[in-house]
Amino acid sequence: MLRSSLIYLAKAVAFGLVMAAVFIVFTRFVADPNGGLLQFNSGSELSFSSAVRKAAPAVVNIYSLSINQEQPLNSSKLQGLGSGVIMSKQGYIITNYHVINKADEIVVALQDGRKFSADVVGLDPETDLAVLKIEGDNLPVVPVNLKHAPRVGDVVLAIGNPYNLGQTITQGIISATGRSGLSSRYLDFLQTDAAINAGNSGGALIDTTGSLIGINTAAYQLTNDDKAGHGINFAIPIELAYKVMGKLIKDGRVIRGALGISGEPVNQVIAQILNLPDLKGIFITSLDSGGPAFRAGLRPRDVIIKYQHEDVTGVDMLMDRIAETKPGTKVDVQIIRDGKTLDIPVVMGEKPVRYN
């Protein structure tokens, strides 16, 4: 009886020791919802240092120089400061268009102290993106995971060079998410409360695994001054930035299709006035005179219900499909006009690029 009790007690003690060891190990590493591990230091304090070490070396400082043409020999001056992200060993760097716009010379500084003169590969004002290229060996490259979709509430880190203070990390969460189509507008962006100050533009927004999820681009301000923000900052989703980068490397610009229409979603009032069967489609409010839709015979008050045989579910969806269609392509646009369904072929035009 005594022996059985001792054996039972020994087993209980052994089990307790094993569980204590497991608990000690577990408290040092906590699973991250993004697929990584959040490490705690010996003081049980949360740290993102591992993620920063992976991404930060690939975030560069960009110095945009402007030369006064009236005094070209002695009037070189810093026009603006910003950040960029090295995306490949070949030296391709993503940054913001507004960071390098109108710069006569661009200097890229790495965190290891190296400096390079950069060439402009391509510019896309519509998404506020630009691609630069530098020539160098052993360039650090940021980790990218295009398969992971950021979610509201995810912890994120913004890396950049605010106010030319040197590389700085700020932390926050994803406040809202958008889309990733080529008809990009502010609503397409990731919204975060991680601070994005002047100079952070073009820098990296990373998740807790160190993977790039966005390119920092703007902070919302109530006034025209650059005082403290309001926790409303924006980053271009990496899926969109990566897509634009590929097009800029290939063509030097983003070639977008254009239909030459403006429209709004069908609501109950429009559906009742036009006697539509449901609330699907886009109500055409205006046409560009001489544009592709105008030449094909589309009219204001037509309702587009299909584009290339795909149901039109909203303005954003239609604008993305139009932008992604190669100019010169003949597309089928299905509309409702005066209660009748019509299929109208339209030859796509090209949306002009407007550089500021």
How far, in whole angstroms, is CA 108 from its chain's centroid?
21
Backbone angles phi, psi at 183, to 5 degrees: -90, 35
- Reading the block at residue 307, the tokens are 């584009």
Other C-beta atoms closer than 10 Å to the C-beta of 141 total 17
- Reading the block at residue 180, the tokens are 């990733």
- Reading the block at residue 102, the tokens are 């109108």
Residue 304 pairs in a beta bridge with 282, 335
Backbone angles phi, psi at 110, to 5 degrees: -85, 165
Determine whether 98 is an active site residue: yes
Determine whether 64 is an active site residue: no
233-237 vs 282-287, strand pairing mode:
unpaired
Q: Considering 128, 154, 188, 320, which one is annotated as catalytic?
A: 128
Q: Over the Cα atoms of the chain, what is R_g?
A: 27
Q: Considering 180, 183, 201, 211, which one is annotated as catalytic?
A: 201
Distance CA 184, CA 169 (A): 27
HSE toward the beta carbon, residue 56, CA cutoff 13 A: 18
Q: Where do the H-state alpha helices sit in the chain?
A: 2-28, 49-55, 97-100, 238-251, 268-274, 292-296, 315-324
**Do the Cβ atoms of 310 and 288 come closer than 8 Å?**
no
Q: Which of 81, 107, 80 is nearest to 93 (CA)?
A: 107
Give the H or E element holding residue 117.
strand 115-117
Q: Considering 64, 83, 98, 124, which one is annotated as catalytic?
A: 98
Distance CA 243, CA 92 (A): 14
Residue 171 pairs in a beta bridge with 157
Q: Which of 65, 120, 87, 349 is nearest to 253 (CA)?
A: 120
Residues classed as catalytic:
98, 128, 201
